[in-house]
Amino acid sequence: MSKRIVAAAFAAGLLGGIATHYVWPRPVLADSSAVEIRAQKFVLVNERGVVIGSFAEEADGPALKLFDTNGREIWAAGSWAAGKAPNHSFALVGR
């Protein structure tokens, strides 16, 4: 391998590194100072955009629900079903 090829490869790498540092913008990083996230509803979707879970306030209190890929509710937890008193947790599986 000739010294010219090695020198050219080194120069190309050096120029490429400088170009990526000064020419292209830096990536934006998430703010790590956030200690609280607020929302009225959280919805979990899969890679196709289908809802597979939710956590929200409903008419009778908070509810956590999981759905299958057809959108059918397969699991729920909260204080609103089966006449349970508030603040008593329960789960309905496979309904």
pLDDT tens profile 40-49: 999 999 888 8
Distances (CA, A) of 65 to 24, 42, 77: 43, 11, 6
The stretches in the chain having pLDDT less than 50 are 82, 84-89
The residue range of the domain holding 84 is 3-93
* Domain count along the chain: 1
Is 0.75 topped by the overall pTM?
Answer: no
What's phi and psi for 82, nearest 5 deg?
A: 60, 30
For residue 53, how many other CB atoms are within 10 A of its CB?
15
